[in-house]
């Protein structure tokens, strides 16, 4: 089921649409007939005022009917074309930052009905390297955004020490897998972000953009690498002092720890901020039905920390997502 806003939008559009039809097809013709009848029985100089008294237009009906076209356009655009989202966490840094406002292309992965997300028209499927918004499988009322790492039939392996991914296509049907996908990594370099921690280092208290040579009390400068996944190159961040808790990984039946074979109709998703992302490594696969759309552009960006008020505007971030 879609989130509450989508349900409310559909209901509001339906109700105002009924009001619009009643106004156009029933009430307006009736008022015109009453007006004509009223004018015929009065003096010419009194015709207009008397006609208005005889055929008043209800204010609530006028308001509802006039709102319908606006709601209909919003519903169509939001449900089938584009939808705005805000980035609330740092799991996709450095590609997407906290405070980025993005536009998601809804039709990239099929035209779906706005309530139950059933595919009406198939227009495409997620590809490796796409940045996709999806309904969190454990709570579909929550929207997540991650990068597509594995598509149906891929065997995905994550090395928690080297913090590198291996993807082998064609493993879902039980026969010998194909060759590994070409995935390359650049050398590790210091990034432009320092991460601070709270609760004895157990949770993140902020990600701070700081030039090399500057630091923050209790902060750790994140490492950065380029990851090339097939023909898609993007940056990833890692925490040099972090060790993955492999025991908390989602364990797929018949597979070793940190290895997964993506089932048909599902996807394996990971955040670019690898040590700060709760993703498919921990909770499993995303059904294609849960896919909302592909993130394509940043239309506004505010300087902010998670859960805090904005402190500025990052106009230089506005543009297509790479």
Angle between helices 4-22 and 59-76 (to 10 degrees): 130
| Residue 177 pLDDT grade (very low, low, confident, very high; cuts 50, 70, 90) | confident
Last residue of a domain, one of 36, 65, 82: 82
What is the full DSSP assignment across 227-262?
EEETTEEEEEEE-TT----GGGS---TTS-TTEEEP
Instruction: State pLDDT tens for residues 198-244.
Output: 877 677 889 999 999 899 988 999 999 999 998 999 999 999 988 88
Q: What are the CA-CA distances from residue 100 to residues 85, 136, 235, 261, 322 (Å)?
A: 9, 20, 17, 33, 14
**Overall domain count for the chain:** 2
Question: Contact, 87 vs 104, CB < 8 A?
Answer: no
Same domain, 16 and 134: no
* Per-residue pLDDT at 30 exceeds 90: no
Same domain, 123 and 68: no
pLDDT at residue number 63: 79
Same domain, 34 and 144: no
pLDDT at residue number 304: 94
pLDDT at residue number 218: 85
Lowest mean pLDDT among 93-107, 188-202, 304-318: 188-202
Eight-state DSSP code of residue 181:
P
Domain that holds residue 64: 4-82
Same domain, 183 and 221: yes
What's the CA gap between 263 and 10, in Å, rounded? 33
* Per-residue pLDDT at 174 exceeds 70: no
Last residue of a domain, one of 37, 66, 82: 82
pLDDT at residue number 47: 47
Instruction: State pLDDT tens for residues 107-151.
Output: 999 998 887 888 889 999 999 999 999 999 999 989 999 999 999
Between 38 and 160, where is the model more confident?
160
What's the CA gap between 13 and 11, in Å, rounded? 5
**How far does CA 314 lie from the centroid of its chain?**
20
On the CB side of 84, CA atoms within 13 Å amount to: 9
Same domain, 163 and 32: no
Residue 173 is a catalytic residue = no
| Mean pLDDT score, 289-305 | 96
Between 4 and 315, where is the model more confident?
315
**How far does CA 302 lie from the centroid of its chain?**
18
Last residue of a domain, one of 64, 82, 100: 82
Instruction: Name the catalytic one among 89, 91, 277, 301.
Output: 91
Instruction: Name the catalytic one among 146, 163, 294, 304.
Output: 146
Lowest mean pLDDT among 151-155, 241-245, 316-320: 241-245
Same domain, 56 and 138: no
| Residue 41 pLDDT grade (very low, low, confident, very high; cuts 50, 70, 90) | low
Same domain, 262 and 132: yes
Instruction: State pLDDT tens for residues 54-88.
Output: 456 667 777 777 888 888 888 888 888 999 999 99
Strand, coil or helix: 36: helix
Same domain, 134 and 30: no
Strand, coil or helix: 111: strand
What's the CA gap between 86 and 98, in Å, rounded? 8
Same domain, 69 and 133: no
Same domain, 76 and 95: no
Supply the CATH number for residue 288's domain: 2.170.230.10
Same domain, 13 and 145: no
Angle between helices 28-40 and 47-54 (to 10 degrees): 140
Q: What is the mean pLDDT of the chain?
A: 88
Same domain, 217 and 300: yes
Residue 146 is a catalytic residue = yes
Q: What are the CA-CA distances from residue 202 to residues 195, 196, 239 (Å)?
A: 12, 10, 13
What's the CA gap between 43 and 33, in Å, rounded? 18
């Amino acid at each position: 089921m879609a989130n509450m806003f989508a349900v409310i939008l559909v209901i509001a559009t339906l109700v105002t649409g009924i009001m619009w039809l009643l106004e156009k097809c029933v009430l307006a013709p009736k008022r015109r007939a009453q007006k004509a009848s009223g004018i015929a029985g009065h003096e010419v100089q009194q015709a207009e005022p008397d006609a208005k008294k005889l055929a008043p237009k209800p204010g609530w009906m006028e308001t509802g009917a006039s709102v319908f076209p606006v709601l209909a356009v919003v519903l169509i655009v939001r449900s089938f074309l584009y939808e705005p989202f805000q980035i609330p966490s740092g799991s996709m840094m450095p590609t997407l930052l906290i405070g980025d406002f993005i536009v998601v292309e809804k039709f990239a992965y099929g035209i779906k009905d706005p309530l139950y997300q059933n595919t009406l028209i198939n227009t495409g499927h997620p590809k490796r390297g796409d940045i996709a918004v999806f309904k969190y499988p454990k709570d579909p009322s929550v929207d997540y955004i991650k990068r597509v790492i594995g598509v149906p039939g891929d065997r995905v392996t994550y090395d928690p020490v080297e913090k590198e991914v291996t993807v082998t296509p064609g493993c879902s049907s039980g026969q010998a897998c194909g060759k590994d996908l070409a995935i390359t990594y650049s050398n590790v370099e210091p990034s432009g972000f320092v991460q601070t921690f709270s609760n004895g280092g157990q949770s993140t208290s902020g990600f701070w953009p700081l030039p090399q040579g500057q630091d923050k009390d209790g902060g750790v400068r994140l490492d950065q690498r380029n990851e090339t996944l097939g023909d898609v190159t993007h940056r990833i961040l890692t925490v040099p002092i972090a060790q993955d808790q492999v025991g908390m990984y989602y364990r797929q039946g018949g597979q070793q720890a940190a290895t997964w074979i993506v089932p048909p109709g599902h996807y394996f998703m990971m955040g670019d901020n690898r040590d700060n992302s709760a993703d498919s490594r921990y909770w499993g696969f995303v059904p294609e039905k849960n896919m909302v759309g592909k993130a394509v552009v940043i239309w506004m960006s505010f300087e902010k920390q998670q859960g805090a008020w904005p402190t500025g505007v990052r106009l230089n971030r506005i543009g297509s997502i790479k």
